[in-house]
Structure 1
């Protein structure tokens, strides 16, 4: 930390506009959701439909472009750029780096959807058009959580890593990553709008992810201890998660890296238990192997399928939703990945990210998803009937887990792993948000503990408040999709700025 920064009072170093405005916007939305839930939902659904149906091609095109660009960056001259000094060694060992990278984003959602995503596709008319449920309901989860979503993270991670570790930028903001293209305009209203949009998307995306998997943890507890279902159980889970990630956050990167490694051990323990003791080992491995091959063979077709006649609206319902969801999370996770990738080249960051993160994601879907699919096709458990009977995905997942030997032990392992995943995700978000709210901060400087504690608490308060309004959770999912539309343009700006700046760097 520079002596100038050391002497400046903390309150004068904070960019208060980027702290206050996004929270006022989110709180205003919450008030609308709670006081006028039906009207708010109607407006958001209309906007979401317009963006997804009319401009859906834009989301798909951006996704494919970013993926192809990631390969170009990795194998071109850009891949030789080291995120740091030319002779600098990686800051973190491979396993620690990979663990923090995987757990910094949607790891808890990956674990949740791994059990049940195929169920959402199984009866879709588009699956029937393509072929069998066996083939395609095991393939689409690998596509929706595979290379294209991770490409968003990895391309932006090297852009931010270049900004932080090569150019030595003292502002860790979205707008600053556009400086090579926009010049001094990033210091004015244009830059401020980009930063406000980014923080708004971060807050909306953070709350959205809790809407997906937190109820599963609550249901696990009610099943284990035979408790009546209560929103206070969800509140308690959020509170415990907050304690874990705040403790790790206040202990800096050492605490975050330790928690991330612990997460991965829990994660692999769960996968190994289901794979080897669930009784479906052969089916899991063979179905997974076939799904990977099917994805490789049909990747471009899946990435460009738009259903122009709207015979099923499958891409509008699913693919566009996932691309938008990952784009909203591009505010936090890539910044964090870029910051921990110091000492690695662009090629190592991108290819290492694919090798570690995509493989871990696909492994989760192959093992957990194909276990439950195997129960369905073998007749051991009619999973689809349980879901079709009006039960939610959480009840269905509990039913799936109860077919495993020592099911209560698996439920305990699941909830501990999910709490740990949430804690590590929120560590990275809170750290990025803390750095984001400084007027200036170097790449090596950690935000003040008071700032980190503020964000650690504030990021958990909004999901806690929204637990008491179920419709608000669904509405904020739409907010995330809507927020992704302008964020996509900012992502393209950042990429163009990085290419220009990195080209100049290579010429120098």
Structure 2
């Protein structure tokens, strides 16, 4: 059956894949109970989130760092070990999406608006408050400021992102499972008498993790876009304009999610990729090309020399805030986001092998982020180093939004550049949130396989709920409020990731046995046939 036929059949099966209310209702209640008080009592909310964030990052910072670093050798083993040859689908099944669309959806769903928000300003923050006790606003601090974001958005985040996609893809396309729930995947490694309630708890944690991660993106990004619009219209910025921006955003996202995976989400991702590349080329070609290339080359060397040091640095004696505010928070953010990415990447990776998903996803995802910071971040540092624009002073006094506007205003045709950048922000967040809504709806659907899509109404319901989360975070305001929604849910996700990895290894051994050394592996239509020894002939990997 062709991919189009399968998708057509899946659309007829929505009636049989009902909402799993036993999972949906408690997850929604927890989200609402957490967000509504933030909106009603913002001052008390600020104090609470500050104290909770400090406690978690101080107590569990080392755990986040080791989890991030440990994901690299684990994913390398999955890719280049015997499991790397396992294919998500039948032996002759072609990839559902072409390479360009696949990467566009992967990158836009995983990074989205976040990199647009931070690419210009993160190097400036680090330049003003550098790590390892070095003096601020020095040439050395600038070199480290250019390098550090490449670490924060590079190999470790993408290794964490792609880890859950492997067991989920295996369940959907190798075992032909009828569920995308993490609790279902972890069943094989949980104690038999506790599997029911533990699986339910795992699924609720996963939903909260996705909502927290995406809520962080909403809480950080809506103020940026509202400031861009206010600047272009000459109007005042505030909670009313931010609410309007959020409403328009949710309508766009709702339409995209309603249109489905092959239309709305894929089309938005492709548009997004074109806009992003155009903006990157603009800065690269009209900006200081030689300076940007030299700084990027220097950053890559600095990163290679200090990779293990900065991946495990906690500053235990100096008790500085840099590791907690940056690396530890980022690792928690990626861990919170990885269930969404695992589900989404698995769903769009039918027809690819584990090796292809890991190698191409990690390589191209990391390279894409590095390019953003090398060009946009490098350009912001160039403006500061040469006294062209007071970017650090603006960042210190007026915040992220004003700084981004200042940097973009130094480019030719600033009004057109600001307009294109605003459109890019709109589409970038839409691709992130519609991916999240799609995966949340898949999680909370009673039965769904890799060829089906959750019902349209269910997908739109999650868009509305994510909007409530965004309102709650906007009411509290500030980076701390957004951070806490991520860090809290990241801690219980770490043991879930371990269970997922163990489940994948166990399944592969059960299903393939000695055939695990074949050139390329895929199971027949059902695991029942596989258990009877009816394996297809090994196929060469393409």
User: Structure 1 residue 128: deviation in Å?
Assistant: 4.8
User: Structure 1 residue 183: deviation in Å?
Assistant: 6.8
Given that residues 180 and 497 in structure 1 are in contact (C-alpha distance below 8 angstroms), is that contact kept between their aligned partners in structure 2?
A: yes
User: Structure 1 residue 86: deviation in Å?
Assistant: 2.7
Pick the aligned partner of 2:49 from 44, 49, 59: 44
Q: Does residue 413 of structure 2 align to residue 406 of structure 1? A: yes
- 1:338 aligns with 346
Q: Does residue 306 of structure 2 align to residue 298 of structure 1? A: yes
Q: Does residue 362 of structure 2 align to residue 354 of structure 1? A: yes
- 2:21 aligns with 16
User: Structure 1 residue 160: deviation in Å?
Assistant: 1.2
Given that residues 180 and 498 in structure 1 are in contact (C-alpha distance below 8 angstroms), is that contact kept between their aligned partners in structure 2?
A: no
- 1:451 aligns with 458
Q: Secondary structure at the match of 1:129?
A: coil
Pick the aligned partner of 1:383 from 391, 403, 412: 391
Q: Secondary structure at the match of 2:467?
A: helix
**1:125-144 superposed matches below 5 A:** 125-126=130-131, 128-129=133-134, 132-144=140-152
Q: 1:21 to 1:473 in 2, by over 3 A?
A: farther
- 1:113 aligns with 118
Pick the aligned partner of 2:507 from 496, 501, 508: 501
- 2:277 aligns with 268
User: Does 262-271 or 13-22 show the bigger shift?
Assistant: 13-22
**1:418-437 superposed matches below 5 A:** 418-437=425-444
Q: Secondary structure at the match of 1:137?
A: helix
Q: 1:263 to 1:6 in 2, by over 3 A?
A: closer
Q: 1:209 to 1:446 in 2, by over 3 A?
A: same
Q: Does residue 321 of structure 2 align to residue 313 of structure 1? A: yes
- 1:163 aligns with 171
RMSD after superposition: 2.3
Given that residues 173 and 450 in structure 2 are in contact (C-alpha distance below 8 angstroms), is that contact kept between their aligned partners in structure 1?
A: yes
1:32-61 per-position Cα deviation (integer Å, ceiling 9, x unaligned): 324444444333333322221122111101
Separation in 2, partners of 1:78, 1:57: 30
TM-score of the two chains, using structure 1 as the length reference? 0.94
Separation in 1, partners of 2:11, 2:304: 51
Q: 1:4 to 1:219 in 2, by over 3 A?
A: closer
Q: Does residue 485 of structure 2 align to residue 479 of structure 1? A: yes
User: Structure 1 residue 456: deviation in Å?
Assistant: 2.5
Q: Does residue 36 of structure 2 align to residue 27 of structure 1? A: no
User: Does 267-276 or 447-456 show the bigger shift?
Assistant: 447-456
- 1:372 aligns with 380
User: Structure 1 residue 395: deviation in Å?
Assistant: 0.7
Q: 1:42 to 1:226 in 2, by over 3 A?
A: closer
1:276-309 per-position Cα deviation (integer Å, ceiling 9, x unaligned): 013x111111101111121122211211212121
User: Structure 1 residue 318: deviation in Å?
Assistant: 1.0
- 1:175 aligns with 183
- 1:64 aligns with 69
Structure 2 residue runs without a partner (length 5+) = 1-5, 516-542
User: Structure 1 residue 400: deviation in Å?
Assistant: 1.1
Separation in 1, partners of 2:285, 2:35: 45
Pick the aligned partner of 1:189 from 192, 197, 208: 197
Given that residues 33 and 472 in structure 1 are in contact (C-alpha distance below 8 angstroms), is that contact kept between their aligned partners in structure 2?
A: no
Separation in 1, partners of 2:133, 2:142: 11
Pick the aligned partner of 1:442 from 437, 441, 449: 449
User: Does 267-276 or 34-43 show the bigger shift?
Assistant: 34-43
User: Does 44-53 or 140-149 show the bigger shift?
Assistant: 44-53
User: Structure 1 residue 315: deviation in Å?
Assistant: 1.3
Separation in 2, partners of 1:335, 1:295: 30
Q: Secondary structure at the match of 2:452?
A: coil
Structure 1 residue runs without a partner (length 5+) = none
Q: Secondary structure at the match of 2:163?
A: helix
Separation in 1, partners of 2:240, 2:40: 21
Given that residues 176 and 186 in structure 1 are in contact (C-alpha distance below 8 angstroms), is that contact kept between their aligned partners in structure 2?
A: no
